[in-house]
């Protein structure tokens, strides 16, 4: 998907990108090879060619930050085809949504293993752990999780590509909160966490602070499900959006080697 994209070039919009595809240039390599004869305006070619060449070089170097800065935010999902082996699924719980509220736990998963960082225990280890990922996937992280993380860790560098499932899924007609969309998709939760929401997460944190280890265990389980249920939603959303966008048939998918039965929680 990424190497079929031209939308990250200044002056190239969705209409021109589709025109480039229709002219037979489905990849950066094809565009470079056929630039001289391509039936595209001289101005458009002059804008596109140096960026295409630079993009190919940056991709060969694995420079995800270049594409994070170049691609429109809503199109970061296209980079999954080349950086999908370095995705961090991320979700936080907090003491509330106010200016003085704090993060209580952060769940972080690579799609195989999930770690939950707990305030007062190992929350300080989160910045180093998240730095190894080239892409982040959240649900409304743009408006909540990432701003809270930046406030908690003022020096943190979050330069990753970012797919916000809240907005990606809305593009294919799935609106509402994470739990509502899970239900629509038939994604189940464990009996002990079924029906819990963000307010319950706040209550569980304060119960833990008052001495209940069982409350913390339940909070961690709830947070882990928030994180782990993002993978099947990402797969569904990107598969659908890929077909709606009309990418050339040569555009690659994004599932990395080793993701077995990624919809295991779907009933």
pLDDT in tens, 4-59: 999 999 999 999 999 999 999 999 999 999 999 999 999 999 999 999 999 999 99
Q: Label residue 267 by pLDDT band (50, 70, 90).
A: very low
Q: What residue spans define the domains of the chain? A: 2-61, 83-232
Residue 251: pLDDT over 60: yes
Phi-psi category of 13—alpha, beta or left, where left has phi over 0 and alpha has psi -120 to 50?
beta
Residue 261: pLDDT over 90: no
How confident is the model at residue 66, as a pLDDT?
98
Q: Label residue 250 by pLDDT band (50, 70, 90).
A: low
How confident is the model at residue 264, as a pLDDT?
35
Q: Label residue 254 by pLDDT band (50, 70, 90).
A: low
For the residues of 114-144, what is the DSSP string, one character each?
EEEEETTTTGGGHHHHHTT-SEEEESSIIII
pTM: 0.92
Strand locations in 70-225 (E): 87-94, 103-109, 114-118, 135-138, 161-164
Question: 178, exposed or middle or buried, with CB in 10 Å at 0-12, 13-18, 19+?
Answer: buried
pLDDT digits (tens, 9 = 90+) for 193-213: 999 999 999 999 999 999 999
Residue 243: pLDDT over 70: yes
Q: How far apart are the C-alpha atoms of 231 and 247, rounded to whole Å?
A: 22
- What six digits make up the tokens of 65? 């930050």
238 CB-near residues (< 8 Å, 6+ apart): 77, 80, 168, 254
If one compares 110 and 266, the residue with the highest pLDDT of the two is 110
CATH 3.30.70.270 fits 83-232, yes or no: no
Q: How far apart are the C-alpha atoms of 65 and 94, rounded to whole Å?
A: 28
CATH 1.10.150 fits 2-61, yes or no: yes
**Average pLDDT value for the chain:** 92
Q: Label residue 266 by pLDDT band (50, 70, 90).
A: very low
2-61 and 83-232 in the same fold: no
């Amino acid at each position: 998907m990424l190497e079929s994209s031209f939308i990250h070039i200044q002056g190239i919009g969705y209409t021109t990108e589709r025109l480039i595809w229709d002219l037979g240039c489905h990849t950066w390599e094809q565009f470079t090879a056929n630039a001289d004869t391509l039936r595209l305006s001289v101005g458009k070619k002059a804008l596109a060619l140096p960026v295409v060449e630079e993009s190919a070089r940056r991709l060969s170097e694995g420079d995800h930050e270049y594409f994070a800065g170049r691609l429109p935010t809503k199109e970061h999902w296209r980079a999954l085809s080349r950086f999908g082996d370095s995705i961090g699924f991320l979700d936080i719980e907090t003491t509330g949504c106010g200016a003085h509220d704090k993060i209580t736990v952060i769940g972080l998963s690579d799609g195989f293993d999930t770690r939950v960082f707990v305030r007062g225990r190992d929350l300080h280890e989160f910045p180093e752990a998240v730095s190894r990922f080239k892409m982040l996937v959240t649900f409304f992280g743009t408006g909540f999780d990432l701003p809270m993380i930046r406030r908690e860790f003022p020096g943190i560098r979050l330069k990753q590509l970012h797919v916000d499932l809240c907005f990606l899924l809305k593009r294919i007609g799935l609106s509402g909160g994470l739990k509502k969309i899970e239900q629509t998709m038939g994604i189940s939760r464990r009996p002990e966490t079924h029906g819990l929401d963000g307010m319950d997460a706040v209550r569980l944190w304060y119960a833990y602070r008052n001495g209940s280890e069982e409350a913390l265990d339940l909070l961690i389980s709830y947070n882990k499900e928030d994180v782990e249920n993002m993978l099947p939603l990402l797969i569904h959303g990107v598969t659908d959006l890929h077909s709606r966008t009309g990418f050339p048939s040569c555009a690659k998918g994004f599932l990395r080697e080793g993701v077995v039965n990624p919809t295991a929680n779907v009933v």
